[in-house]
Amino acid sequence: MRLTFMVACVVSLVIAFVTSIPAVTVLVTGMAWSADIGSVTYVADSFSAFMVLVINTGSVLAALYGVRYLADDPDGRSLTESILHGTSFVALHAAMIGVVISSDLYSLFYFWEAMSISSFLLVLFDARQTKARTAAIRYILQMHIGAVGILVAIGFVSSAMGGVTYSLVHDYAASHQTWIVLLPLAVAFAMKAGLFPLHSWLPDTHAAAPSHVSGLMSGVMIKLGAYGLIRFGLLTDPSTELGTVLLVIGIATALFGIVNAIGQRDLKKLLAYSSVENMGLIVMSVGMAFIARGIDAPYIEIAAWSGVVLHILHHMLIKAVLFQSAGNILHGTHTRDLNNLGGLIHTMPGTVNLLLLGGLGISALPGSSGFVSEFPMYISGIKTMMMSSTSISMLGVFSVVTLCLAGGFAIIAFTKAIGIGALGTARTKAPLTAHDPHWTTRFPQWLAFGGALFIAVAPGMFIRALSGVLYGLSEKHIPHDLLTTLDTVGIGQAVLIIVVGIVWLLRMLATRTKPVAEGPTWGCGFQEGDARIQYTATTYADSTIEIMSPVTDVSVSYRHIDPADMFPRTRSYHTEEKDLIANKVFDPLAIGVERVLRALAVLQSGNMRSYILYAFVFIVVVVVLTLAEVL
C-alpha cells in the first residue's frame, strides 16, 4: 500500500513540478500559456496558473501526508486497491489541472467528470464501512447530476455556435439570453463548490474519505467549483444581477455551513461544513466583485478579488492542516466522534498543537492567514455599504454581517472542535491510549501551516505577487492604499505574534520564583468527579442549535420525563445531526422517484403473453401518438 502510494506521490510531485514551472512563468510574465494537445487547445491565463499552483500545493501536501498516513493504515489492502488508490490520486491531481487549463467545454466536461470519478474512487478507500460506501455512492450520483449542467451547456452552445470553445460560449452568451448557458453551468459548479442548497454531498463525503483525500477535496477540489463560477461569470460579462445572486447564495451557504458545523460531533464533518462556509464566503466575495464591476467600482472589485484569491490560498493550506490533524486523531483513537474524545493534548500534543493553530486560522482570528484573507472581504463589504445606491449599500451590509456572524459562529465551532475534542479530560478510553503519529506525518502539516503563516504576515507581498491574477480577473491595477492597508495588517499581525512572545517571556520571568501548586479542577469539593462533568460536543452546540433551529436538523431521541414521574428510570439521550436539505428535500425527492420507478416495475410479470402484448401495445401507442401528431 505504502509503496504504491509512494509511486503516486512521486508522480504527483512530477506533475506538480512540470506544471508549476509554466504556471509561475505565466504569473511572472503575465503572458498566457497555451498548447495544442491532440486537437484540443489548452490555455492557462494568470488565473488558471494561480489555480494550478493551488492545486499543485494542495496535491503535494496531500500526497506527502498520504504516504505516511497509509503506512499506518490498519486494514490489509489488495494490490488492486492500492493501484486504484494511487492511480485515482494522480488522476485527480491531473484532472484538476485539466479543468483549469481547458479552453473548451468538451475538455472541461471531460476533466470535470474525471475529477469526480477519481475523487469518488478515492473516497471508496474506506468503503468497507457501510456509511462510507453510501456516502461515496451519493457523492458520485450528485456529481453526475451536477455535471449534466455542463453537458446541457455543451448541447446548447455547440448546436447554436458549431463549437464549444470559451470564446464561442462568450459569443453565445452575448447573442442569446445569458442564463440559458450560465444557469446549467452554475448548477454544475455550485454542486462541486458545495453551495447551498447543493452542498449536501460534501459533509458525508469528506467524513467518509481518508484524511489526506478529505484535505485535498476540501482544500482544492471544491475550489474548482468557484473557479468555474468565476471563469464563466467573467466570460458572460458579469452583471450586478449575477453578482447579487452569487452574493445571496454565498451568504446562505456561509451561514448555513458554519451553523451546521457547530451542530456536528463528527470532527471531519465539522471541518467539512466549515469548508461549506468558506466556499460560501469565497462565492460571496465573487458576487461582490461582480457587483462592483457592474457598478464600476474598481476599488471594491479589486478588494473582493483579493479576498477571493487570498481566501482560496488560506483555506487550502489551513484545511490541509486541519483535515490531516483529524486524520492523525482518527488513526490515534479510531474515532471521529468528539463525544468520545477529549484530553488529547496530553496524549497527542504534536497533533493538537497543529489543530489549535489551524483552528485559530480557520476562525479568521488575528495573527492568522484567515484574518488577512477575510480582511479584503470586509474592505469590499464596508466600501459597498458606503456606495450611493441604497440597494447596493444594503448588499454591503449583508455581506459584512455575514462575515462577522460567520466569524462568530466559527469561533463556537472550532472552540468546540478543539475544546471538546482535544482539551479537558478524556471522555472514553480511546484518547488515553492514543499517541502522536510519526513526525513525518506532521511534516506536510507544518509545511502548510508555515505557508499560512507567511500569508498572515505578508499579505501585501502575496497580493503583489498575484497582481497578475487580480489584473486578469478585473483588468484593473491594484490601488496603492489597498496594498498599504494589507501591508499594515501583515505588520500588525507580526507585531501581535511578537508581543505575545514578549509578554509570555515576561510572564515566565515574573512567575519563575512563584510557587505553583497542582490540583484537580475546581469541582465544588465533590470528590467523585469524572469525565461526565464536562460539556459534550452535543451540549456545547445545543444553545446555538436552538437559536438557529430553522436551518439545522438535529433529531433528538429521548423520552421526556413525565411531570408526574417522580422517580424516573435511567434513560438515554441521543441526538443525530442531519443535513436539513438532504433530509428534508433531497432524500424525500429521491425516495419519491424511487417509489414511482419501483411502482412501474409491476410490468415485469415473467408472463410470456404479456411480453408479446408489449410489442402490440408499443405499436398501438406509437400509432396513437402519431395520429395525435405528438410524434
Partner 1 sequence: MIALVVILVVALFFIGIVNRTKSLLGGRVGPGLFQHVHDVVRLFRKGAVISTTSSIVFRLAPTISFVAILMACTLIPFGTQPALLPFQYDVVAFAYLLALSRFVMILAALDTGSPFEGMGANREGIYGMLVEPAFFVVFGSLAILTGHTSFTELFSTLHVGSGGVSILISVLAVYVILQIAMIESSRLPIDDPKTHLELTMIHEVMILDHSGFDLGLIMVSSSMKFALFGLLLANFHLTPSAPLWLLLIIAFGVNIVFAMTVGAIESFRARNRMKRNPQFILTLTSVAVLIYFSVLILTNKLVL
Partner 2 sequence: MITIHHLPLAVRLDEIPVVSVEEAFACINQYLRVGQSRHVFHMVALPHTDGHRVITVLADDHTHSVSLTSCIVRTGNPVPSLTPSNAQMHIFERDLWERYGLEFTDHPWCKPVRFPVDSFHRKGIDDYPFFRLEGGESHEVGVGPIHAGVIEPGHFRFQCTGEDVVHLEIKLGYQHRDVEGELERARTLQRRSVLAESIAGDTTIGHAWAHAMAIEVLTEQQCDPITEHERVIALELERMAIHVGDLGALSLDVAWQLGSSYFGALRTPLINFFQLWCGNRFGKGLIRPGRNRFPLDEERRKAMRLMLAQFEKKFTLLANEMFSLPSVVARFEGTGVVTHDQVAAIGAVGMSARMSGLGRDIRRSHPHGSYRALDHVSVIEHGGDVLARAAVRRREVDASMRRIRIVLNELSEMSGSDAPTVPSTFTPNTLAISAVEAWRGEVVHVAVTDQDGQIQAYRIKDPSMHNWFALALAVRNNEISDFPICNKSFDLSYCGHDL
Partner 3 sequence: MNTLMHPYVFFAGAAIIAGLLIIARTMSAQILLLASYIVLLASLTWHEFTTLNVIEAQYLKADPLTVTLLSVLTILGAVAAFQGVLYAKHRGDSISHLALHNAALVGFLSMLVGVYLSRHIGLVWAFLEASTLTAAVLIYHNRNRNSVEATWKYVFVCSIGIAIAFAGILFLSIAGSATDAHDLSFEALRAGAHTMDPTWLKISFLFLLAGFSVKLGVVPLFNVDIDAKDAAPSHISALLSSVLMNAGFSAVYRIYSVYSGTSIRPWLNSVLLLCGTLSILAAAVYILKVKNLKRLLAYSSLEHAGIVLIAVGSGAWFAALLHLVLHSFAKSAMFLQYGHYFRLTKSKKINAGGDYLSAHPAGAGVFIVGLLALCAVPPMGTFLSEMLALTTLLGTAWWWWALIIIPLLAVILWAMTKRIVSILYRPRHHTSVNGSRATMSMAMETIPQYALLAVVIWLGFFAPPAVVDFLHRASILHP
519 lies in the site for partner 2, by CB under 8 A = no
578 lies in the site for partner 2, by CB under 8 A = no
Cell of 27: 504569473
Please give the residues from 271 up to 300 whose contact with partner 3 meets the rule CB under 8 A: none
**Considering only 72-80, 193-201, 316-324, 450-458, which stretch makes contact with partner 3 by CB under 8 A?**
72-80
415 lies in the site for partner 2, by CB under 8 A = no
Burial class (CB in 10 A: 0-12, 13-18, 19+), 76: exposed
185 lies in the site for partner 3, by CB under 8 A = no
One of 508, 509, 510, 524 touching partner 2 (CB under 8 A): 524
Distance of closest approach, residue 519 Cβ to partner 1, in angstroms: 6
Nearest-angstrom CA–CA distance, 206 and 139: 10
Please identify, using beta-carbon distances, which residue of 433 and 543 lies nearer to partner 1: 543
Please give the residues from 355 up to 374 whose contact with partner 2 meets the rule CB under 8 A: none
Identity of the residue numbered 520: P
DSSP summary character for residue 578: E
Contact 255, 301 (CB under 8 A): no
604 lies in the site for partner 3, by CB under 8 A = yes
75 lies in the site for partner 2, by CB under 8 A = no
Distance of closest approach, residue 419 Cβ to partner 1, in angstroms: 3
- If you count them, how many residues does the chain have? 631
447 binds, among partner 2, partner 1, partner 3, none (CB under 5 to 8 A by kind): none
Residue 283 CB contacts under 8 Å (≥ 6 apart), including other chains: 193, 195, 226, 229, 246, 249, 250, 253
Radius of gyration for the alpha carbons in the chain, expressed in angstroms and rounded: 26
Contact 466, 482 (CB under 8 A): no
**Considering only 126-134, 168-176, 287-295, 414-422, which stretch makes contact with partner 3 by CB under 8 A?**
126-134
450 lies in the site for partner 2, by CB under 8 A = no
One of 566, 596, 603, 630 touching partner 2 (CB under 8 A): 566
575 binds, among partner 2, partner 3, partner 1, none (CB under 5 to 8 A by kind): partner 2
Please identify, using beta-carbon distances, which residue of 95 and 426 lies nearer to partner 3: 95
570 lies in the site for partner 2, by CB under 8 A = yes
Other CB atoms within 10 Å distance of the CB of residue 484: 11
596 lies in the site for partner 2, by CB under 8 A = no
- With residue 170 as reference, give the H or E element that holds it: helix 166-175
Phi, psi torsion values for 271, nearest 5 degrees: -65, -35
One of 498, 561, 589, 617 touching partner 2 (CB under 8 A): 561
Report which of 174, 147, 143, 146 is spatially closest to residue 160, judged by C-alpha positions. Answer: 174
Nearest-angstrom CA–CA distance, 497 and 513: 26
DSSP-derived 3-state class of residue 104 = strand
Distance of closest approach, residue 385 Cβ to partner 1, in angstroms: 5
One of 11, 32, 40, 127 touching partner 3 (CB under 8 A): 127
111 binds, among partner 1, partner 2, partner 3, none (CB under 5 to 8 A by kind): partner 3
521 lies in the site for partner 2, by CB under 8 A = no
Nearest-angstrom CA–CA distance, 311 and 425: 34
Q: Which pairs with CB-CB distance under 8 Å and at least 24 residues apart come from 439-443?
A: 439/350, 440/68, 441/65, 441/68, 441/69, 441/72, 441/324, 441/328, 442/324, 442/328, 442/350, 442/351, 442/354, 443/64
Torsion of Cα atoms, 27 then 56 then 308 then 411, to 10°:
-150
Dmax over CA atoms of the chain, in Å, equals 101
Tell whether the torsion through CA atoms of 45, 47, 50 and 55 is positive or negative.
negative
DSSP summary character for residue 429: S
Please give the residues from 160 up to 179 whose contact with partner 3 meets the rule CB under 8 A: 160
Distance of closest approach, residue 132 Cβ to partner 2, in angstroms: 23
Going through 33-157 in order, the beta strands assigned E by DSSP cover 33-37, 40-44
Distance of closest approach, residue 179 Cβ to partner 3, in angstroms: 16
Contact 316, 57 (CB under 8 A): yes
Please give the residues from 544 up to 603 whose contact with partner 3 meets the rule CB under 8 A: 593-594, 597-598, 600-601, 603
> Roughly what angle, to the nearest 10 degrees, separates helices 130-161 and 201-208?
130
Please identify, using beta-carbon distances, which residue of 182 and 387 lies nearer to partner 3: 182
Please give the residues from 143 up to 162 whose contact with partner 3 meets the rule CB under 8 A: 144-145, 148, 151-152, 154-156, 158-160
Distance of closest approach, residue 157 Cβ to partner 3, in angstroms: 9
Contact 341, 352 (CB under 8 A): no
Please identify, using beta-carbon distances, which residue of 239 and 485 lies nearer to partner 1: 485
84 lies in the site for partner 3, by CB under 8 A = yes
Report which of 351, 367, 530, 510 is spatially closest to residue 437, judged by C-alpha positions. Answer: 351
> Roughly what angle, to the nearest 10 degrees, separates helices 105-123 and 130-161?
180
- 479-518 mask for partner 2 (x: CB under 8 A)? ----------------------------------------
Please identify, using beta-carbon distances, which residue of 517 and 524 lies nearer to partner 2: 524
Distance of closest approach, residue 267 Cβ to partner 2, in angstroms: 15
Please give the residues from 250 up to 279 whose contact with partner 2 meets the rule CB under 8 A: 265
128 binds, among partner 2, partner 1, partner 3, none (CB under 5 to 8 A by kind): partner 3
33 binds, among partner 3, partner 1, partner 2, none (CB under 5 to 8 A by kind): none
Q: Which residues bind partner 2 (CB under 8 A)?
A: 265, 339-340, 427-428, 523-529, 532-543, 546, 558, 560-561, 563-564, 566-575
Q: Which residues bind partner 3 (CB under 8 A)?
A: 76-81, 83-84, 95, 106, 109-111, 113-114, 116-117, 121, 124, 127-128, 130, 133, 136-137, 140-141, 144-145, 148, 151-152, 154-156, 158-160, 593-594, 597-598, 600-601, 603-604, 608, 611-612, 614-619, 622-623, 625-626, 631
